[in-house]
Amino acid sequence: MENRRKKQSRLRDIWRQLKKSKLSVVALIVLCLIILVAILAPVLAPYHYAQQNAKLKNAPPSAQHLLGNDRLGRDILSRLIWGSRQSLQMGVLAVAIAAVVGILIGSVAGYYGGWVDNLSMRLLDIYQAIPMFLLSVSLAAIMGPSLKNAIIALGVGTVPGYARIMRASVLTVREKEYVEASRAINASNARIIFKHIVPNAIGPLIVQITMGVGSCILAGSALSYIGLGAQPPIPEWGAMIADARGVMRQYPTHALYPGICVMISVLACNLLGDGLRDALDPRLKN
Amino acid sequence: MTPLLEVRDLKKYFKSRAGLLHAVDGVSFTLEKGKTLGVVGESGCGKTTLGRTVLHLIEPTDGQIFFEGKDITRPKKRELRKLREQMQIIFQDPFSSLDPRMTVSEAIMEPLILKGGMSRAAMHAEVRQLMDTVGLATRLENSYPHELDGGRRQRIGIARALALKPKFIVCDEPVSALDVSIQAQVINLMLDLQEERGLAYMFVTHDLSVVKYISNDIMVMYLGQVVEKAPADELFANLRHPYSKALLSAIPIPSIHNRKERILLTGEITSPINPKPGCRFMTRCRYAREECNKPQKLEECAPGHFVSCCCYKEINDLEEVNKA
Amino acid sequence: MADTLLDIRNLAVQYQTDDATIYAVNNINLAIRQGETIGIVGETGAGKTTIAKSIMRILPNPQGKIVSGEIRFKDQNLLDLPEKEMQKVRGNQIAMIFQDPMTALNPIETVGYQIAEAIRRHNKITQAEADRRACDMLETVGIPMDRFGEYPHQFSGGMKQRVVIAMALACNPELLLADEPTTALDVTIQAQVLDMMRSLKEKFKTSVMLITHDLGVVAEFCETVAVTYSGEIVERGTVEHIFDNPQHPYTLGLFGSLPKLDTKDRRLKPIKGMMPDPTNLPIGCRFRDRCPDAIEACAAAPPDVETEPGHIVKCVRAKEKGGAAV
């Protein structure tokens, strides 16, 4: 009961600030729509994504096929709708992996400080010296091309950013008197970290997470484009662009539609992230 | 009778880039059950560090701490857990000492949860009881700290400290962030609690007038050392140390009559990093002389009244002459 | 009055937040004479700082708003001035110092440069001339000239506040608004800074509006006092009026809550309750709920009663003691 009230009041607080910016509200609505489409793909898509029609290869838009058909005669609209599932998965799951690992490393490094902090930060330094995309590519290549491996690769590749933000945030929260206050009443380190520090330090990370979803969708599409992500015939927006490469000159729309989808979802994530940054900034409150 | 708390020659040095910072440098005192020790000094005198060190929130560099006759200088983990139930702290800033994401009842319940061995219902009842004790209305139990004013937040802090039924509480400037009318309410509450529960307080503050109200004994600190220590009445009647005198004279009195002469200090404050062995107040003291370069010792100048100044007698005589 | 420097009439200021209006200052009247030192006393949220910020016209935008009233400075209403004109007044004729000296100083410029800049902003003089005057200013506030080229972080808190005061006085303003100038300082340092401010005030003949919560500071520094509560001035008069013959129950309560060095009592006498919520002010006397002497008539807005010449109390019961409404 109490817990629910607490969460509600926090969410309501963020929402109240967020709705001041029209752009972020629009972004939020767009994102919700994309998620809804992904969930309801089997219902919304007029055709199955793999259903080919030899007679309709590269057919222009028609009443039956609103966005036309691709080089194998598959309905582009249906493939876009089904594709939203893979793209969103890429974004959300990769970020989830990165954020969880990053929060853990960042909180422990920030809270304990000293050699723990030094060691983990230097390791992250080395880690970050390897280009993120290259790392993801090699990981995906080693583990074999599949959507699952692409997600893991993306997630692992983006850990340092989250870890650093979390560490910086923990460093400021750690100095707060209430942390010392809970030590005075015998709270264990684990309790202090997870009950007091993480919830209070996570604010700046929410922005990073939101924007991270966008960039992972983008990076995921790129991985799929070079064949390391979703495997045919499963549609993924990046893979669809790759698929359209051969006919790009004659039928540019084949690549354009998935491109627009990527752009819109990435843009929505970034705008929402921007809005959240303002909404979470205590200096802007009242 | 063994005192509740005894501290002998306690030292806490912090490493800094420039050298060792002598935050607390050889402080000794005893505190009886149900009594209050006032620790007065300005920022940087080590009074806050002293309180934290006694509670083992900071580990001491050297010296000894006894609680009920038992040496607790280097406690084991389990010992420390038990100790913390008996020694608590009230913080200065009621705004930063409460987790902003915890409701009033959650904050007060936290120490009970950590202690364990109580049912949820029993804890709830206990929280209500505590809220009642410190004068918080029960309807506030689901409020968040940011929805409350400073005085009420400080009451939450007090309730948290009381939850474990301690015998000794370090009060670190508990009222200096509060407005005067609220400050008086909180001080009265603390006095009542002391009477009811036989609590011993170590009351750390920069405000001599507050400390006079609440303390049995007073200790004046300057740059990590005790410069003067005496029962409250004796101290205010016969100030000995030049620093204590300057401190008292600097307090603006809310009255336009009986103007006292103000001692204005000049000179730079000595750095607490690698200080020289002599008197630390020397650079600002108008009576400074050659002997002050030697280490100073606390000397009993009247029964129970200790002063750490090699020339307090001469200064006193000099001032008597000046007055005449 | 001919020698009135600043005259605040019916000033009302509100802050607009997402879901409420904060009534910060409510119809305040206040006059400051040339050379006068007035203390504005009150607790957190009484509207003291808002008054000063309204005079400087630096209320947070867009939340803070002056709803009504005028602030006449030497016969011109500051609230009517275009921003350009106001800039010439700000820092030049009226200067303000804040509680925290650190926020007023730029950490990456030397203190000397910052004082010289303050002078050059309002005077057409060469850099060398400005530097020379900045050096003089430093000496005036008791900082040796050779620290001209040092950065703020090399100064202690008390020294920083001296620099801030030097900056504020550099253009020889006619009115200085000091918002809790010594609250962040230790008492021994506070004594030094107050002492210095007092001699500067006499030297430059500056009028000072000292905002503080500390009645002790007011007793030592000010000639007249205005006690604020809930955005109103509940009592004003000379220091003798306020300290020897306080009339308003709130002023009396404030004195009662102070721990005194010269009494034996073990208990303080606090004012019960708390200041009313500024978003939801009670009708009638704002102090009524906490007042030990409240009567039925307090439910109506209390009148300003002059109990003795120049001593004005916002309390209906002050009449009983022979005061006349003004």
Whole-number pLDDT of residue A284: 46
Residue of A nearest to B81 (CA): A186
pLDDT in tens, B233-278: 899 888 899 999 999 888 888 888 866 677 888 877 888 888 888 8
CATH code, domain with B202: 3.40.50.300
pLDDT in tens, C156-211: 888 888 899 999 888 889 999 999 988 888 888 888 888 888 888 888 889 999 99
Token pair in block for residue A6: 């607490």
CA distances from C59 to B117, B242, C55 (A): 54, 45, 9
* Residue contact C257–B180, C-beta within 8 A: yes
What is the average pLDDT score of chain B? Answer: 89
* Residue contact B209–C259, C-beta within 8 A: yes
Token pair in block for residue A136: 């993801």
What secondary structure letter does DSSP report for A75? B
* Residue contact C214–B209, C-beta within 8 A: no
Total domains in the fold of chain B: 1
Averaged pLDDT, B117-137: 92
pTM, two decimal places? 0.83
Q: Of C242, C258, C289, C290, which to mutate for an interface test with B (greatest number of B Cβ within 10 Å)?
A: C258
Cis status, amide bond into C62, omega within 30 of 0: yes
* Residue contact C270–B210, C-beta within 8 A: no
Domains of chain A by residue range: 2-47+64-284
What is the average pLDDT score of chain C? Answer: 89
Q: Which residues of C touch A16 (CB under 8 A)?
A: 18
Token pair in block for residue C120: 């050059």
Distance between CA atoms of residues B311 and B292, nearest Å: 8
H/E segment holding residue C64: strand C64-73
Whole-number pLDDT of residue A5: 47
Lowest mean pLDDT among B97-101, B306-310, C24-28, C98-102: C98-102
* Residue contact B179–C194, C-beta within 8 A: no
Q: Which partners does chain C have (≥3 C-beta pairs < 8 Å)?
A: A, B
Domain range for B47: 5-323
Give the one of A177, A185, A196 whose C-beta lies nearest to B93's C-beta.
Answer: A177
In sequence order, the β-bridge partners of residue C13 are: C25, C66
pLDDT in tens, A22-39: 888 999 999 999 999 999
pLDDT per position in chain A (286 positions), as tens?
344 445 456 677 778 778 888 888 999 999 999 999 999 988 888 888 888 887 888 878 888 888 888 888 888 888 999 989 888 888 999 999 999 999 999 999 999 988 999 999 999 998 888 887 787 788 878 888 888 888 888 888 889 989 999 999 999 999 888 999 998 888 889 999 998 999 888 888 888 898 888 888 888 888 888 888 888 888 888 888 888 888 888 888 888 999 999 999 999 999 998 888 877 765 444 3
Q: Which residues of C touch A286 (CB under 8 A)?
A: 17-18, 63
Distance between CA atoms of residues B306 and B30, nearest Å: 13
Q: What confidence category does residue C261 fall into, taking pLDDT thresholds of 50, 70 and 90? A: confident
* Residue contact A176–B160, C-beta within 8 A: no
Distance between CA atoms of residues A224 and B170, nearest Å: 62
Lowest mean pLDDT among B55-64, B314-323, C52-61, C210-219: B314-323
CB of A237 closer than 8 Å to CB of A261: yes
Question: In C77-153, which residue ranges form alpha helices assigned H by DSSP?
Answer: 83-89, 101-104, 111-122, 127-140
Averaged pLDDT, C61-65: 84
Q: Which residues of A touch C17 (CB under 8 A)?
A: 286
Q: Does B117 touch chain C (CB under 8 A)?
A: no
Residue of A nearest to C21 (CA): A286
pLDDT in tens, A46-67: 888 888 887 888 878 888 888 8
Whole-number pLDDT of residue B156: 94
What is the three-class DSSP state of B198?
Answer: coil
* Residue contact C259–B210, C-beta within 8 A: yes
Strands B168-172 and B200-205: what pairing?
A: parallel
Whole-number pLDDT of residue A260: 92
| Percentage of chain C modeled with pLDDT above 70 | 97
Give the one of A6, A185, A199 whose C-beta lies nearest to B164's C-beta.
Answer: A185
Averaged pLDDT, C73-97: 90
Whole-number pLDDT of residue B259: 66
Q: Which residues of C touch B266 (CB under 8 A)?
A: 192
H/E segment holding residue B13: strand B5-16
* Residue contact B181–C253, C-beta within 8 A: yes
Tokens 């354009």, located at residue: A256
Whole-number pLDDT of residue A2: 41
* Residue contact B97–A184, C-beta within 8 A: no
How many C-beta atoms surround the C-beta of residue A42 within 10 A?
10
Nearest to A187 by CA among B130, B122, B113, B172: B113
CATH number for domain A2-47+64-284, candidates 3.40.190.10, 3.90.650.10, 3.20.20.60, 1.10.3720.10: 1.10.3720.10
Sheet of B19-31: strand order equals B19-31, B5-16, B62-67, B70-71
Asked if the interface predicted TM-score (ipTM) of this complex is over 0.90, the answer is no
Distance between CA atoms of residues A139 and B104, nearest Å: 49
Whole-number pLDDT of residue B7: 95
Q: Chain B: nearest CA to C220, how far in angstroms? A: 7
